[in-house]
């Protein structure tokens, strides 16, 4: 006998996991379908960065709250669990094809400020997927496979 769902989400990347989690939080009967057996396995080069810790990007000021282990999107009013590792960046240096240097931020000054001075942070996409998957399961989303 076929099972009925209010919503079937295809693809368990960050967007699919977030869609399934949100639908489950709102009481929908949800199935999440993914072709990979290990949803949080990263099998290719993949780097994730919270770039906008000191400025807005697409109207949002994303930030990593290490103390509460969350990546926060305050403008849009949500956050997600993140208990993985991260690497802070306190300055960016960009060189043009002609050798001109553009530096964003003062490393020494920003590093002294700690989290408040970082301008971006690289995080582990596999850890983020694991955190989202935990939230998906907590909201009784069915994940076949």
| Residue 144 within any structural domain of the chain | no
Of 62, 20, 67, the residue nearest 39 (C-alpha):
20
What's the pTM? 0.80
Structural domain boundaries enclosing 114: 7-138
The owner of tokens 């639908």 is: 23
- Asked if the structure places residue 17 within a domain, the reply is yes
Q: How far apart are CA 66 and CA 84, in angstroms?
A: 10
Residue 111 is given by DSSP the state: H
Span 49-69, average pLDDT? 73
Sign of CA dihedral 63, 69, 70, 71: positive
Could you read off the pLDDT of 108-143 as tens digits, one per residue?
999 999 888 888 888 889 999 999 999 999 999 999
* 92 in any annotated domain: yes
The confidence score (pLDDT) of residue 133 equals 95
How do beta strands 120-123 and 48-50 pair? antiparallel
Number of domains the chain contains: 1
Using one digit for the tens of pLDDT, what is the confidence trace for 70-121?
Answer: 998 888 888 999 999 999 889 888 999 999 998 888 999 999 998 888 888 8
First to last CA, the chain: 18
């Amino acid at each position: 006998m076929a099972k009925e769902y209010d919503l079937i989400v295809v693809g368990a990347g960050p967007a699919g996991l977030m869609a399934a989690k949100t639908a489950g939080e709102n009481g929908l009967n949800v199935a999440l379908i993914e072709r990979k057996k290990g949803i949080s396995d990263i099998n290719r080069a993949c780097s994730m960065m919270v770039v906008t810790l000191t400025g807005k990007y697409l109207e949002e000021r994303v930030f990593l709250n290490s103390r509460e282990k969350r990546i926060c999107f305050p403008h849009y009013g949500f956050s997600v669990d993140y208990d993985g590792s991260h690497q802070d960046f306190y300055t960016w240096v960009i060189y043009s094809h002609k050798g001109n240097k553009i530096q964003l931020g003062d490393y020494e000054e920003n590093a002294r400020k700690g989290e408040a001075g970082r301008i971006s942070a690289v995080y582990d996409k596999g850890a983020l997927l694991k955190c989202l998957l935990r939230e998906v399961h907590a909201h009784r989303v069915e994940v076949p496979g």
